Amino acid sequence: MSEHSQFLEMNLDGRKSTYVLGPLAGLELGRFVPLGPPLYIIDQTVASMHPEWIEQIQTNCAHCEQRTLLLPGGEKIKSLAQLGEIYDWLSQQNLPRDGSLVAIGGGTVLDLAGLAASTWRRGVNFVSIPTTLLAMVDAAIGGKTAINAAGIKNPVGTFYPASGVLADVGFLSTLTRSDWRDGMAELIKSAAIGNAELFAEIHAARQDLEKTLGQGDVHQPIAGILGKFPWRRWVQQAAEVKVDLVNRDFREKGPRKSLNLGHTLGHVLEAYSQRTKQPLSHGQAVSIGMAVVFRIAAERNLCPVPQALQMLGVLESCGLPISCQAPPLNLMDELLAGDKKTSARDGLSWVLPERIGKMKINARVQQDELLRWLEAPPLF
């Protein structure tokens, strides 16, 4: 066990899941692959940008044989067609019931590969190695897997935790500015939900964040960014918020719902935007979703206005959008009705902030409130 890594333990529906964070986290892979050799599904960008590190992870894992499927990252791979191709490949490779599937990539690769792992032969051992900020603080934790279908975001999926999540911040050196921004949306979310000190620290760093993330070419990596902010600690603290919530409520019956802050509207905007010429990324859509619910909560006097302004300010400093044109009303209703957070018993439930660090779950939001604040001017 590396002394350079931190270990966060989860017990999810009786399944043990360990989050390992550190520069050598990938070298722990062998501990989570009891019977080998594993199969690998790897984001092809990551494979091309970090070939030596990937090779080291694979060869260090006791089983040297490497059978790898490369996939492009991005929302489009979260499809039934792509899942079918993975099943074909798993069949060709003859992955047995007691075999292991290892996914290396961002949230899209992990969501898709996790779903494949959870359903192939009714569930094989799954290990994930997140390579984006968003995946390290959110997508890799808590065992939700998903693909998109029927024009809706994530309606098909399973609860199936990875036995190991191996997070190494070093992978982030090659992220583009837009991927950093997306990751910040989920990092800010976790801080707002469960770590007010972390939120205050990020808010205090907003001028530096603005210079580093808020400006510049969104398609390029950011030179020297790993040394500019305490990423490892920020990832750890954000991961701890999610680890705590999923440990208490794996099946999302109560407290875990707070992680949907910004997501009810965010998923609708993301799904709708896929039909347009300007698709929003997941992080951008969540950012707008959070900005809108903070404005609604402030207008209702549920959340103090200064805190809502802090949230808007911090999102903007990271170059994230806080408003957009509303989708056509009929489509918005349709997509909201199709959102997976609609339950027969509770209807569509929203997360509204009471303050930074405290969320109200199962809240109701009216359409006129949404429309008023979705297209709102940047600040009150």
Strand-strand pairing, 67-71 and 39-43: parallel
CA-based angle 72:74:80, to the nearest 5?
85
By CB under 6 A, tell whether 107 contacts ligand NAD.
yes
Task: State the Cα–Cα distance between residues 244 and 241, nearest whole angstrom.
Answer: 5
Q: Which residues pair with 105 in a beta bridge?
A: 130
By CB under 6 A, tell whether 22 contacts ligand NAD.
no
What residue type is 120 in one-letter code? Answer: W
By CB under 6 A, tell whether 135 contacts ligand NAD.
yes
By CB under 6 A, tell whether 161 contacts ligand NAD.
no
For ligand NAD, what does the binding mask look like between residues 262 and 301, x meaning CB under 6 A? --------------------x-------------------
**Exactly one of 100, 108, 128, 287 binds ligand NAD (CB under 6 A); which one?**
108
By CB under 6 A, tell whether 361 contacts ligand NAD.
no
Nearer to ligand NAD, 239 or 303 (CB): 239
Catalytic residue among 282, 295, 340, 341: 282
Q: How far is the CB of 221 from ligand NAD (least distance, A)?
A: 7
> Is residue 252 among the annotated active site residues?
yes
- CB burial of residue 338 (10 Å; 0-12, 13-18, 19+): middle
Phi-psi region of 357 (alpha: psi -120 to 50; beta: other; left: phi over 0): left
Task: State the Cα–Cα distance between residues 259 and 117, nearest whole angstrom.
Answer: 24
By CB under 6 A, tell whether 109 contacts ligand NAD.
yes
Task: State the Cα–Cα distance between residues 96 and 38, nearest whole angstrom.
Answer: 10
3-state secondary structure of 159: strand
**Exactly one of 105, 262, 327, 353 binds ligand NAD (CB under 6 A); which one?**
105
> Is residue 275 among the annotated active site residues?
no
By CB under 6 A, tell whether 171 contacts ligand NAD.
yes
Nearer to ligand NAD, 139 or 311 (CB): 139
- Name the helix (H) or strand (E) containing 145: strand 144-149
Question: Which residue reads 């062998």 in tokens?
Answer: 30
Nearer to ligand NAD, 44 or 93 (CB): 44
> Is residue 50 among the annotated active site residues?
no
Q: Which residues pair with 158 in a beta bridge?
A: 145
Binding region for ligand NAD (CB under 6 A) out of 100-108, 116-124, 295-303, 370-378: 100-108
Backbone torsions φ then ψ of 66, nearest 5 degrees: -120, 115
Q: Which parts of 173-192 interact with ligand NAD (CB under 6 A)?
A: 174-175, 179, 182
> Is residue 122 among the annotated active site residues?
yes
- Name the helix (H) or strand (E) containing 234: helix 231-248
Nearer to ligand NAD, 36 or 158 (CB): 158
Q: How far is the CB of 330 from ligand NAD (least distance, A)?
A: 24
**177-194 helix and 282-299 helix, angle to the nearest 10 degrees:** 40
Q: How far is the CB of 171 from ligand NAD (least distance, A)?
A: 4
Task: State the Cα–Cα distance between residues 136 and 240, nearest whole angstrom.
Answer: 11
Query: Are residues 266 and 285 in contact, defined by beta-carbon separation less than 8 angstroms?
Result: yes
Q: Computed from CA positions of residues 272, 274, 277, 279, in that sequence, does the dihedral angle turn out positive or negative? A: positive
Q: Which parts of 42-71 interact with ligand NAD (CB under 6 A)?
A: 43, 45-46, 49
Binding region for ligand NAD (CB under 6 A) out of 1-9, 105-113, 203-211, 301-309: 105-113
**Exactly one of 20, 21, 57, 78 binds ligand NAD (CB under 6 A); which one?**
78
Residues with a known catalytic role: 122, 144, 186, 242, 252, 256, 260, 263, 267, 282
